[in-house]
Structure 1
Amino acid sequence: MTTATKQSTEDKAGQAGGTGALVTEHGTTTVADTVVQKIAGLAAREVAGVHALGGGAARAFNALRERIPGATASAGQGVSVEVGEKQAAVDLQLLVEYGVSIADLARSVRRNVITAIERMTGLEVVEVNINVTDIHLPEDDSDEQPQPARVQ
């Protein structure tokens, strides 16, 4: 890392990102991990080519939850975050649509997540790590149809 890059990074670390400071002379604003987690999850889902978030077990659990009347899907599924006073780091698990360029999708997801978190919270996002756990195939949708009973 060059001296200029190191200085620039240190300057950013000393600032509260976004347009408003989280620590002012009038008080301190803290943002809970779950808030950042939900923002990241919703921002990632907005990108075309992202089919779902979370690993296989998390998606299966969420599918069961959706069948319970009144229950809602978790906006933070497949997202883990680490939030400090001025910075945040995000880890995402994605299920992508078949045929989508994973590199381009990762760039778009990263940009959308960083923009949403920094705009809404004022935290500086230092990294967004993306783990593609699976690819959604069009024929997988036919598997979700209820199968007729084998025994009557």
Structure 2
Amino acid sequence: MDTISPSAGGSESGTAGKALTGHTGAGTAPETRGRTTIADSVVEKIAGMATREVPGIHSLGSGMARTLGAVTDKVPGGRPSMSRGVKVEVGERQAAVDLDVVVEYGVAIVDVAGDVRTSVITSVERMTGLEVVEVNITVDDVHLADEEDGEEGEGRVQ
């Protein structure tokens, strides 16, 4: 059975310069009708959630971003940012992810980084259909068990 093309020329050689993104009409599959665009913020949230699920990750974000985030998280009615410490570049078919993380003291950083890459790649590719070409991880700090989040230690003078 022949497929009917929307071009008037009838031959494919006469359609130079016209890009067809998919077939149209009642006989075509629904997934080929139209275009889906995924915002960077969506991929950032997915990557942030996937990173936080990995054992050994204490938090995301570097220095000032973590400090400001800790303050805004404590504001009544405020919600923690799932994309803090996450930057992404999203193309039509691919995505690249950059993460700033704080790990727990005592974990093997190389192993945690590998687990984070696996988690992020699996989650982003499964949920968005984008190919994750790289996940770059910067370990900004190590969290010690006796440290309080977002608070200064006691000074010597009271």
- Specify which of 106, 109, 125 is matched with residue 116 of structure 2: 109
Which has the larger share of helix? 1
In the alignment, structure 2 segments of 5+ residues that lack a partner are: 1-30
* Structure 2 residue 41 is matched with structure 1 residue 34: yes
Greater radius of gyration (CA): 2
Greater RCO (CA < 8 Å, at least 6 residues apart): 1
Q: How far apart, in 1, do the equivalents of 2:149 and 2:130 lie?
A: 42
Residue identity in the other structure for 1:27: G
* Structure 2 residue 132 is matched with structure 1 residue 125: yes
Q: How far apart, in 1, do the equivalents of 2:149 and 2:83 lie?
A: 27
Normalised to the residue count of structure 2, the TM-score between the two structures is 0.75
| CA drift at 1:41 | 0.3
| Contact 2:85 2:101 (8 Å CA) reproduced | yes
| Contact 2:97 2:135 (8 Å CA) reproduced | yes
- Specify which of 64, 67, 71 is matched with residue 71 of structure 2: 64
In the alignment, structure 1 segments of 5+ residues that lack a partner are: 1-23
Change (3 A) 1:146 1:106: closer
Q: How far apart, in 2, do the equivalents of 1:143 and 1:71 lie?
A: 16
- Specify which of 96, 100, 107 is matched with residue 103 of structure 2: 96
DSSP 3-state at the match of 2:122 = helix
Residue identity in the other structure for 2:97: V
Partner of 1:74: 81
| CA drift at 1:146 | 9.8
| Contact 2:70 2:149 (8 Å CA) reproduced | no
| Contact 2:59 2:101 (8 Å CA) reproduced | yes
| Contact 2:66 2:150 (8 Å CA) reproduced | no
**How many percent identity over aligned positions?**
56
- Specify which of 141, 145, 148 is matched with residue 141 of structure 1: 148
Q: How far apart, in 2, do the equivalents of 1:145 and 1:84 lie?
A: 41
Change (3 A) 1:29 1:70: same
| CA drift at 1:141 | 3.0
Q: How far apart, in 2, do the equivalents of 1:143 and 1:114 lie?
A: 30
Structural RMSD (CA): 2.0
